[in-house]
Amino acid sequence: MPNFKSKLLYEVEALKSRKKAVILAHNYQPPEIQDAADYVGDSFELSRVAAESKAEVIVFCGVFFMAEVAAILDPHKVVLLPEMAAGCPLADTITAAALRERKKQHPEAAVVTYINSPAAVKAESDVCVTSSNAVHIVDTLEADEILFVPDMNLGSYVARHTANNKKVHTWNGCCESHHIVTGADVQAARAAHPKAVLLAHPECQPEVVEAADHVFSTGGMLKYADQTDDREMLIGTEQGLLYRLQKENPHKRFYSLSPKMYCPTMKMITPEKIISSLKTLRPRVAVPEDIREPARKALERMLQLAAS
Ligand code: CIZ
């Protein structure tokens, strides 16, 4: 007999095939959601899976901006976010109107926008980036001056690593789940796990990033963990990633850099909410066409430059 939890997952499966849906889960989602998903990945990987999928309905288990990216890339699909309150506090630090004001102060700057941002902000941007391609894309742009929004830590990482010394203006936004970790936390974690190699996300503060052995996006961490001979790793990103790391590398050991690396909105989606979403085809995320088209251009430009 299936237990209570597997009964829920069985219901998800049945509804999914009835509604011709695919379930996508971000790397930071809770284990039961990752296990229910057809694909687990970072925001951009998942949006591309959504756009290429033959499914008519996309259930996006992540936060609002991620579902928006899927709706930008393919407006013909029904994109569901099972919990509308699952926002991204970093994305919420910026609006299109505030960006337009800031652009007036730096009229020569290319506007480079992290994917963790609202669609209307992407629509005001020259190009989008993810944490895995931000430095490369800024290097590739002709502009010597960059307005990087909204993550100040990723912006500062780009400023320190861009090859041609570009002037990078940053926005005052950050991801609390990454920004909250300090150099003292790194010292404590290293003392507790002296053999572990430290992998940090570039959304962490500079003192954490500079103390790390390697700096990666979530996709970069998964790849490194798979390929390295290291047996123990301290993971400097939202702790949801540890489930996938451990599942894919059962003979290696992973420790969270800090228990503070926890995103509450990433944990709002439950199997019950997926079921309700599949039954009602709500809540649905759609992007108005006057925002969608310029936002799509900024995302497409990222793809072109990332491949160059
Ligand atoms: O873009 C993403 O999915 C996030 C939030 C982080 C990462 O490094 O993958």
One domain, residues 10 and 62: yes
Within a domain: 304? no
Within a domain: 28? yes
One domain, residues 196 and 250: yes
User: Rounded to the nearest 5°, which phi and psi values hold at 107?
Assistant: -65, -20
**Quick one: pLDDT at residue 51?**
86
Q: What is the mean pLDDT of the chain?
A: 96
Q: In CATH, what number is assigned to the domain containing residue 207?
A: 3.40.50.10800
**Quick one: pLDDT at residue 82?**
98
Q: Which helix (H) or strand (E) holds 197?
A: strand 197-200
3-class state of residue 116 by DSSP: coil
Q: Which atom of ligand 1 is nearest to the CA of 216?
A: 8
One domain, residues 169 and 110: yes
Within a domain: 301? no
CA of 299 to the centre of ligand 1 (A): 15
Query: How far apart are the C-alpha atoms of 114 and 121, rounded to whole Å?
Result: 10
pLDDT, one tens digit per residue, over 66-75 is: 999 999 999 9
Containing domain of residue 138, as a range?
A: 91-174
Burial class (CB in 10 A: 0-12, 13-18, 19+), 138: buried
Within a domain: 233? yes
Query: How far apart are the C-alpha atoms of 72 and 291, rounded to whole Å?
Result: 9
**Per-residue pLDDT for 99 more than 70?**
yes
Query: How far apart are the C-alpha atoms of 258 and 181, rounded to whole Å?
Result: 7
One domain, residues 55 and 74: yes
Using the 3D structure, point to which of 128, 146, 174 is the last residue of a domain: 174
DSSP 215: E
Using the 3D structure, point to which of 141, 174, 207 is the last residue of a domain: 174
DSSP 62: S
**Per-residue pLDDT for 164 more than 90?**
no
**Per-residue pLDDT for 206 more than 70?**
yes
Residues in contact with ligand 1 by the CB-under-6-Å rule are 26, 42-43, 115-116, 130-131, 201, 217-219
The bridge status of strand 253-256 relative to strand 232-236 is parallel
User: What token pair was written down for 174?
Assistant: 């950050």
CA of 217 to the centre of ligand 1 (A): 6
**Per-residue pLDDT for 244 more than 60?**
yes
**Quick one: pLDDT at residue 3?**
53
Within a domain: 55? yes
Please state, in angstroms and as integers, the Cα–Cα distance from residue 210 to each residue in 11, 106, 200, 206, 227, following that order: 46, 29, 9, 6, 23
Q: Which residue has the tokens 């490369």?
A: 136
**Per-residue pLDDT for 46 more than 50?**
yes
**Quick one: pLDDT at residue 1?**
45
Which residue, judged by its Cα, is nearest atom 1 of ligand 1? Answer: 43
Higher pLDDT, 284 or 2: 284
Count up the domains in the chain and report the number. Answer: 3
CA of 291 to the centre of ligand 1 (A): 22
User: What token pair was written down for 50?
Assistant: 């959504």
Neighbours of 280 (CB within 10 A): 10
Q: Which of 40, 178, 218, 261 to mutate to test the pocket of ligand 1 (most atoms within 8 A of CB)?
A: 218
**Per-residue pLDDT for 5 more than 80?**
no
Dihedral in degrees, nearest 10, Cα atoms 228, 233, 239, 242? 50
What residues pair up with 61 in beta bridges, in sequence order? Answer: 25
One domain, residues 80 and 109: no
CA of 70 to the centre of ligand 1 (A): 14
User: What token pair was written down for 269?
Assistant: 């989606």
**Quick one: pLDDT at residue 223?**
98
**Per-residue pLDDT for 288 more than 70?**
yes
Query: How far apart are the C-alpha atoms of 150 and 159, rounded to whole Å?
Result: 14
What value does the mean pLDDT take over residues 171-195?
98
User: What token pair was written down for 149?
Assistant: 């929004």
**Quick one: pLDDT at residue 165?**
85
What value does the mean pLDDT take over residues 234-246?
98
User: What token pair was written down for 18?
Assistant: 């009835």
Q: Which atom of ligand 1 is nearest to the CA of 26?
A: 3
pLDDT, one tens digit per residue, over 11-39 is: 999 999 999 999 999 999 999 999 999 99
Using the 3D structure, point to which of 121, 142, 174 is the last residue of a domain: 174
CA of 43 to the centre of ligand 1 (A): 6
* H runs (alpha helix) in the chain: 4-18, 31-36, 43-52, 64-73, 96-105, 119-122, 134-140, 152-161, 176-179, 183-192, 206-211, 218-227, 241-248, 271-280, 289-307
What value does the mean pLDDT take over residues 86-94?
98
Which residue, judged by its Cα, is nearest atom 8 of ligand 1? Answer: 217
pTM, two decimals, is 0.95
Within a domain: 299? no
One domain, residues 226 and 186: yes
pLDDT band at 44 (very low <50, low <70, confident <90, very high): confident
**Per-residue pLDDT for 4 more than 80?**
no
One domain, residues 220 and 156: no
